[in-house]
Structure 1
Amino acid sequence: MEKQLIKPFLTVANYRFMEQQTDKIIRALATTKDKNVILAVRGIVKSELIDSFTWSDEEEKIVQSLIDINDRAEGEVFLEQLKTYIIPFKAVETSKLKSLFKKEKKLKLPNLEEIDFQQISYLAWDDPGKLRRYLVMEQDKGFKALKGTFKLPATQGICALCNQHTEVVRLTTSVKGEVPGTFTKHYNYVCADSQLCNQHVTDIEKVSAFFDRVTK
């Protein structure tokens, strides 16, 4: 993959999508010698790349080199080089998190120093003692926050955030209703492990839609 003097242009979710597409080609190469089958898989991946995003000419040249990968080693090199084009989740400070959840008494905060913001599409952490989960995503150059309670034990299901079949917990969130003193509750199944969920997110718009849906 040729290096280009261009700014980072991939969200973390875009990168995860590229990982997914790279894996498609690597698995095809590992399971068949049929050139027509491999060519068909490359064609599907190319279509996914072109149809799913809008690229500049320079960006398209970078991502399309994925299509010509010939083995796992080349795939790993491609993905490693691609990391230089990731736009990380906006760094957030403890004081900002406190302001986002200012009504929360004894807010349990995550250790931000342990978080790799280049690896997450949204920020999430749990307060196991209260069975409470806090979620933060970027929106309109700022942040949007959401909190809810989750119910154990985990079960198998589809996560409302990453849309993968995995271990999930039921997350209950609530927002103020139109009538004073009333609340609307939302129930959704989300990954039991929010870190694993972040590895599965390939479409940030679905995460944004989830936040919009449960905060109305």
Structure 2
Amino acid sequence: MHQPFIRNHQYNEIKKRIGQLQNACNTVSDKKVVEAVRNDTEMMINGLFLEATDQQKQLLGNLDQLHGTADFQRYLQALEPYVIEEYAQVTDNQLKKLFPKIKKLKLPDLEAADSRFATYLGWTDIAVNRLFIVYELGGKLVGFEGKYTPTNKKGVCFLCSKHTEVALFTAVTKWKPAGVSSDYYRAIGNYMCVNSEVCNRNITSVDVLETFIHGVLVGP
């Protein structure tokens, strides 16, 4: 029985670095340079899993055996069963409870999504131009929503740092400074991928996402 231990963003980072190593093997003739890239790749992967067991280290290691395209493909495929399905147990009722003020909440198709490759759940309600995001923070599901304005052009997503088709996402913060009037509000926003599935397959760190969530739900 496989015990998953790799989060989606970690798998994406591994995939990116393994791709760079594969490119070096295919295009660089200097063996010392290739080995330097191989060593850097191994150090990066080890750095993602500082508390890995011996079995996990063995699974992630053996990069010296990767040379041809088939080797790299097998390596990544061998890791897939160990990617955590973070949202496999999430239900429609749980999502509804995260957005109690929205009476006609449009829900995502949870059965159609592959929860192994989702750092966050993101879906849109085009009818009202809203984007909904759910993320597990500190072992607890949190959710927030905001205005979703497609730009119909490409830009850099603030979450995954990839150049893709983006939309402006703006969320009103849920906190208020002491002593402000009842009609006070503050919104924060940024450009992110139009397609959350694409974003989830590119994101390699949760730092920016967690900072944004903290800004929306808790405040500076």
Residue pair 2:10, 2:48 contacting (<8 A) in 1 also: no
C-alpha displacement at 1:96, in angstroms? 0.8
Residue pair 2:123, 2:132 contacting (<8 A) in 1 also: yes
**Which residue pairs with 1:75 in the alignment?**
72
- 1:49 is matched with which residue: 45, 54, 67? 45
Residue pair 1:12, 1:120 contacting (<8 A) in 2 also: yes
Give 4+ residue runs of structure 1 displaced > 4 Å after superposition. none
User: Cα gap change, 1:181/1:67 in structure 2, threshold over 3 Å: closer, same or farther?
Assistant: farther
Match of 1:129, SS state, is coil
**Which residue pairs with 2:99 in the alignment?**
101
Match of 1:103, SS state, is coil
- 1:195 is matched with which residue: 189, 194, 197? 197
Over the matched positions of the two proteins, sequence identity in percent amounts to: 29
Deviation larger for 90-99 or 174-183: 174-183
Return the alpha-carbon distance in structure 2 between the equivalents of residues 67 and 190 of structure 1: 37
* Pair 1:22 & 2:18 matched: yes
Q: CA RMSD in A?
A: 1.8
* Pair 1:39 & 2:41 matched: no
Given residue 17 of structure 1, which amino acid in structure 2 is its aligned partner? E
Structure-to-structure mapping, 1:1-216, within 5 angstroms: 7-54=3-50, 55-90=52-87, 91-176=89-174, 177-178=176-177, 179=180, 180-215=182-217, 216=219
Residue pair 1:126, 1:132 contacting (<8 A) in 2 also: yes
Residue pair 1:162, 1:207 contacting (<8 A) in 2 also: no
Match of 2:197, SS state, is helix
Uncovered stretches (5+) of structure 1, i.e. residues with no partner: none
Residue pair 1:45, 1:67 contacting (<8 A) in 2 also: no
Aligned length: 212
Return the alpha-carbon distance in structure 2 between the equivalents of residues 199 and 62 of structure 1: 22
Uncovered stretches (5+) of structure 2, i.e. residues with no partner: none
C-alpha displacement at 1:175, in angstroms? 1.8
Which TM-score applies when normalising by structure 1? Answer: 0.90
C-alpha displacement at 1:6, in angstroms? 6.5
C-alpha displacement at 1:205, in angstroms? 3.3
C-alpha displacement at 1:128, in angstroms? 1.1
1:75-126 C-alpha deviation (Å, 9 max, x unpaired): 1111111112111113211111111111013111111111111111110001
